[in-house]
Amino acid sequence: MRLWSHGPLVQPPAVRLGNAAQAGGADAGVEGLGRDEILLRFRDKYGEKILSAPTVEGFNLTAWLVPFVMLAAGAAVVATTLVRWRATRETSPSEAVPRPLSELDRRRLQAELAKEKS
pLDDT tens, residue order, the chain (118 aa): 444 444 445 444 554 555 555 555 445 566 778 888 888 888 888 887 777 666 778 888 888 899 999 999 999 999 999 999 887 776 666 666 778 889 999 999 999 999 988 7
Are 35 and 82 part of one and the same domain? no
How many domains are contained in the chain? Answer: 2
pTM of model > 0.75: no
Are 35 and 86 part of one and the same domain? no
Boundary (domain end) residue, out of 33, 57, 81: 57
User: For residues 87 and 94, what is the distance between their CA atoms, to the nearest angstrom?
Assistant: 14
User: For residues 5 and 84, what is the distance between their CA atoms, to the nearest angstrom?
Assistant: 44
Integer CA distances (angstroms), 67 to 46, 51, 70, in order: 27, 20, 5
List alpha helices for 10-94, DSSP H: 14-23, 35-46, 60-90
Domain containing 49 equals 1-57
CB neighbours (10 Å) of residue 9? 15
Are 53 and 3 part of one and the same domain? yes
Are 50 and 70 part of one and the same domain? no
